[in-house]
Amino acid sequence: MRRPAAADRERQTKLTRRILLIGGVQAVFVGVLGLRMRQMQIVDADLYRTLAEENRISLQIISPSRGKIMDRFGQVLADNRPTYQITITRERADDMEIVLRRLKVLLPISDEQIAAALADSKKTSAFVPIPVAERVTWEELSLVAVNLPALPGVNLETVLERTYPLGPDYAHVIGYVGRVSENDLADAGTGEPLLSMPGFKIGKISIERSMEQQLRGVQGTLAVEVNSSGRVMRDLERTDPVAGEDVTLTLDHHLQNFTLARLGDQSAAAVVIDVRNGDILASVSAPSFDPNLFVGGISSKDYGALRDSEYRPLADKTVQGAYPPGSTVKMSLALAALEAGVVTPDDSVNCPGFVEIAGRKFHCWKRGGHGRVNLQGALRESCDVFFYEMAQRVGIDGLNAMNTRLGLGLKPDLPLSGITAGLNPSRDWKLKKQGSEWRIGDTINASIGQGFVQASPMQLAVMAARIASGRQVTPRMIKSASDIPDSGFASMGLSSQSLDLVHRGMFDVVNADRGTAKASRIVADGQQMAGKTGSSQVFSITDAERASGVRTQDQLPWNRRDHALFTAFAPYDAPQIAVSVLVEHGGGGSTAAAPIARDLVLFYLNGGLPPPEAYPAEQRGRVGTDLARLSTLILPPDANGATSHA
């Protein structure tokens, strides 16, 4: 039976509407798709091309070679040596922990090292090699190489490691490098991608740290093609790194080496400065340590031994130690009194062994007193009572001003860590720090380098250099490109008469019959030195102890003995160097510090171990034995047989 024509037409109409609707939707979809394709392929083509390149190309950092550090003669003090290390790459290891456990069977690596490698891997990209073992021997490397098929992701690499050929000689001056810490990253900010590389090392203290930017160099880059999983397919472009700058120091490696040997096992420090240009020729703190221990990470046992020693081997006593300068400051007071016109060369003061000031007795180191002495004699015999009188005439303001002119209380501008400014006290300082007025007793104590006064061995060496030359000698440790024999330091404005009188007093200290350091005189022509002894109390002597008879220094416990100090310049007629020596708890400056200073002077002036004939005849037998012993402890001379100081 045929359907009515009307029904067929209605069905056809519905079908047509549906076709048009579907066609319209499809047309809209195709139109939108076309517009989007046009947007991506034409309008945004550059953006997606860049994104595709970034996904395809990986940029790797290449570490630069660290600059060398050398002494004034070119002796290498900090170098880089090739060494082997084992690394692992996370994206090539099936299971990092399993591979590392297999590696532990072959190498002496600890669970802590494995944990550190796993932690590092989570902080870096999957294709970045993570150090597992450093300083690997050739035998260990060969063993790992044979087993590489069972160690997916493990790499064998040759890298440059920092090394310090002279070990303890320059530990405090040069410092050492170590792994980058969180504090290092925080200090550097985000602009130092090198620091984020696992295993990268930077300077931690002293010159290695203060000159980090020059020594580090500039990183290189390597663009490599990687696949979707990050695996390297091929190298594309390489920019070579720029090696760090070499740094040349003013120090003399032979003198530095001899100074450390001469200080021996004492807790001590010594500084030698060229008075003509401010070059620091030796800066030694004893005992020292081997900085190579820190490069690969020092053990807890080794670090604990250094940290807990009462001799403080980790501290640089030359610039970090602040000590009462004792009688070495009397040279400053003498100059202050002469320049102020409150004393003449012929004025004298009677020393009965003490003086009473403001109802308090201030004693001289010599219980029976020195009798009547003038300024030259007071320097020669280190008479405290004479300088008590000068302190009252000059006042703390005058002493403070002269101390400043001589470099006390000022922080030397040197590339070392933890430099102290010491303390050159004044009225204002005491009022601000302690909230009390300055008293006459404070001035009396300051006049003999006790009380509030503090100075480092470096500052005392600068003081001696300025007194020797009459100029504002400024110490330097980095050798300039154009080395000049005389830097032309400005005059301190002190009269030649005042300087000459203080020089003669210092000469008498070492060379006159009643000089406090007569036993350390030099008899070689043209090599005599002028100096000043000092002893600074660690604990005050009570009235009861004084009345009962004070025990000698060698009867006291080591940490209650006085510090021993000595400052000097030489040769007396034409000064070349200034020397400062400190022996912690050494007792007396004349017995503990002055003999060391003499040996340093003679070693410098003779270009090596001096002949026994430079010493007084009665000392030559003992000196010969000491020099023979020292000859076994120091570096051999250069090819020419001596160290040149030209």
Which residues of 476-551 form beta strands (DSSP E)? 530-536
Asked if 519 and 593 count as a contact pair (C-beta separation under 8 A), the reply is no
C-alpha distances in Å from residue 620, one per residue of 20, 517, 554, 611, 625: 123, 17, 25, 9, 9
- What is the residue-wise DSSP string for 570-631? E-SSS--EEEEEEETT-S-IIIIIHHHHHHHHHHHHHTSSPPGGGS-GGGHHHHHHHHHHHH
327 included as an active-site residue? yes
At 511 the three-state DSSP class reads helix
Distant-in-sequence, close-in-space partners of 260: CB < 8 Å, separation ≥ 6? 168, 169, 284, 286, 288
Q: If you compute the radius of gyration of the chain from its CA atoms, what whole number of angstroms results?
A: 36
Q: How far is CA 428 from the centre of its chain?
A: 32
Placement of tokens 């003992």 in the chain: 622
> Does an H or E element contain 410, and which?
none
Return the closest-CA partner of residue 566 out of 441, 463, 428, 433.
Answer: 463
Phi, psi of 296 (to 5 degrees): -90, 0
C-alpha distances in Å from residue 154, one per residue of 90, 97, 149, 230, 306: 9, 12, 9, 16, 36
At 28 the three-state DSSP class reads helix
> Does an H or E element contain 38, and which?
helix 5-38
Q: How far apart are CA 55 and CA 263, in angstroms?
A: 62
Asked if 172 and 259 count as a contact pair (C-beta separation under 8 A), the reply is no
Distant-in-sequence, close-in-space partners of 175: CB < 8 Å, separation ≥ 6? 203, 204, 205, 206, 207, 208, 209, 291, 417
**Residues present in the chain in total:** 646
* DSSP 8-state symbol, 646: -
Q: How far apart are CA 593 and CA 80, in angstroms?
A: 37
Question: Which of the following is catalytic: 121, 210, 267, 327?
Answer: 327
Phi, psi of 380 (to 5 degrees): -60, -45
At 32 the three-state DSSP class reads helix
> Does an H or E element contain 324, and which?
none
Buried/exposed 276-299: b ≥16 CB within 10 Å, e otherwise? bbbbbbbbbbbbbbbbbbbbeebe
At 330 the three-state DSSP class reads helix
Q: Which residues are catalytic?
A: 327
